[in-house]
Structures are given as structure tokens and as C-alpha cells.
Amino acid sequence: MKIFGVRFGFLKLVSLFGILLLLTLTAAIVVAMFVQPSIHSCQMYVPRKTASGMIAIDSVASYAQREGFVVLLQELASILTSNLFDSPPVPEMKELVAGSHLLMVGGARTPTALRRARQLNVRMTLVDDESMRSWSEQAVGSFIGIADFGRVSVSEPQVVLQAVRRHLEASGEKLDGVFTLVEDHGPLVSLIGEALSLPCSPLKAAQTARNKYLVRKAMESKSLPVPRFWLIESENDATQAAAHVGFPAFLKPVYGVQMILESLLGGNEVQLELMIHNGKLGVLQVARSSLLSRHAGRGSEGEAPQARD
């Protein structure tokens, strides 16, 4: 084959294609360092963009070293063809989920998720704020609109469950699953899932996972290592929290207006993503976060406190 008058063999074409993919990925990461990212309509602050971008590049290189350059090219080609030809990035998944009817809770402005559902031949019913109806109806099979959904979904979840029940009874449809892309709606998904006998995380587990204080208490009850922490519900708790936790420390939001004061630990931060399905534990991803200097967390001897083993 000739390209611009130069003859290329098959292996050279594959190599050229791989190089172009890697250059495109690198360019995308570099651009991301200078563009203000957003999720839905919310702008995000990303500290140390350059460091984060370099870690992203390092992650790609580590993946290639671990899985092989050919596998990396296959992954990149899958992403590229998915966007160019509107096809699912993992064709095998379509065989597993095609024809399913899923309820999506919130996240109307997530076109990628809705496009993936269409590519996989998955019928979607979306429950979200009533103001999203005209925007969403063309992207999903059915829409359940609830006024002031953001507040109602958290403070009155039974209202959402009742609206879903009414819709299913009126339409005669059945659901195969329920999910969300919005962190706040995790407990709501479990509430709906348990009420409709759909696969889901237990409601108690979902409620615990959304509350950093309850997570720390649950870990502590199982003798797992946790940093010192104290729940702060009012200014009257601040003195007691400081005495128990000590410094350096930092404040974390629990949920709503509650906070916890937690001791600051030094060392590298590692993120481990797991999934339990039918009692089987699977590792989705292991990643390390950007190494940010913590001058504010230095002790009197100039060394950051270390995490307990």
C-alpha cells in the first residue's frame, strides 16, 4: 500500500497506526492539562495538572509494559473505532446485555452513558429532574420526571421509588437492573433495587459507603487500620476533636453539613477499585495519585507522619 507515494508493508502500517494512536493519546493528555475539565455542568479544580498528566502517561506506559504493546494498541483502537463508528468498545458485552431494560437514576447530562446503552442495544428508562425531560426523551426509551429531583432524591427517596412504581404499573414494563453515575444516588439505587427485587448493593452498605464517618466506624469495628478521626457536628465538637486527633490533620465532609477531623498521613496515595459480583471479588483498577507536597503536614522534625501498618 502506498501513502503519500511511500510504500508500506502490513507490519509497517500496524506500527504507524500504533504510533499515531499513542501520539493522539499523548496530545489529549497534554491538552487536558490546560483545559478546565467539567462533569455535567460543574467545573472541577484539578491541582497539579502537569503532575497528574505525567502520571496518566506513566500509567499508559505501565499498562503497555504489563500487558504488552499489542494489547495496548487493541485497547486504543477499540476506543477510537467506538467513537468513529458508533460501536460498543467491548463487542462481547453486547452479547451479555443486549435487550436488557435498565433504570438510570439521575445523570441526564451524560451523553456517553446514553450512547453506550444505544450501542449495546440496552433499553433505558431515566428518572431525573422534570426540567431534563425535553433534553432526555430523545436519548432514552422512557423518562420519569420529578420536580426538584436533586433534593427529593436525597431527603425523600421514597417519593422517587413511588414514581418509578407508578411508571412501571402504568406501562406494564419490567426492569432488569438499576444503576447510577451520580455518587449521591448510591443509596437510592439500593432502595429501588431492593424494593423491586433487582440486583443491587445492600441498602445498609450503600448508606455506609456514602458516609465517611460510618465507613471509618465500620473499618474500626473490624480491626482494620484507620487514621484517628472524630465527628464534628457543631463548633462545640472542635476542641474535643482536636484533642483526640491531634495535628497535623484535615477536615473531611461526611455528608451534608457534618465533618470529620482526621489525622494527616504521609506516603504515597494508592487507589484500589474493587467489585463484588455474586460473592466473587474482582480488582478493576489500581492507581496511584499525584504526589503532592504536604508542607502543612510536616511535623516538628520536618517529617510527615506515616500511615500505620
Find cell 426509551 and name the residue. 141
Give the span between the Cα atoms of 99 and 92, in whole angstroms.
Answer: 14
Cell of 144: 420519569
Give the span between the Cα atoms of 306 and 292, in whole angstroms.
Answer: 15
What integer pLDDT is reported at residue 281 of this predicted model? 82
Average pLDDT by stretches of 10, the chain with 309 residues: 54 69 72 55 52 72 81 77 70 82 91 85 94 85 93 93 97 95 92 96 92 92 92 88 90 78 80 78 70 40 36
Q: Is 173 helix (H, G, I), strand (E, B) or coil?
A: coil
What integer pLDDT is reported at residue 294 of this predicted model? 40
What is the CB neighbour count within 10 angstroms for residue 63? Answer: 14
What integer pLDDT is reported at residue 208 of this predicted model? 93
Find cell 447510577 and name the residue. 180
Give the span between the Cα atoms of 241 and 309, in whole angstroms.
Answer: 23
What integer pLDDT is reported at residue 53 of this predicted model? 67
Q: Give the angle 276-273-183 at the CA atoms, nearest 5°.
A: 90
What integer pLDDT is reported at residue 42 of this predicted model? 45
Per the confidence metrics, is the pTM higher than 0.85? no
Give the span between the Cα atoms of 94 and 231, in whole angstroms.
Answer: 46
| Helix 10-34 vs helix 49-67: crossing angle, to nearest 10 | 150
Give the span between the Cα atoms of 123 and 109, in whole angstroms.
Answer: 17
Q: Which residues pair with 276 in a beta bridge?
A: 281
22: phi then psi, degrees, rounded to nearest 5: -65, -40
Give the span between the Cα atoms of 125 and 70, in whole angstroms.
Answer: 38
Give the span between the Cα atoms of 57 and 201, in whole angstroms.
Answer: 34
What integer pLDDT is reported at residue 235 of this predicted model? 84
User: Which amino acid is residue 258, in one-letter code?
Assistant: Q
What integer pLDDT is reported at residue 11 of this predicted model? 62
What the chain holds in terms of domains, given with CATH numbers, is 9-85 (no CATH), 91-207 (3.40.50.20), 212-297 (no CATH)
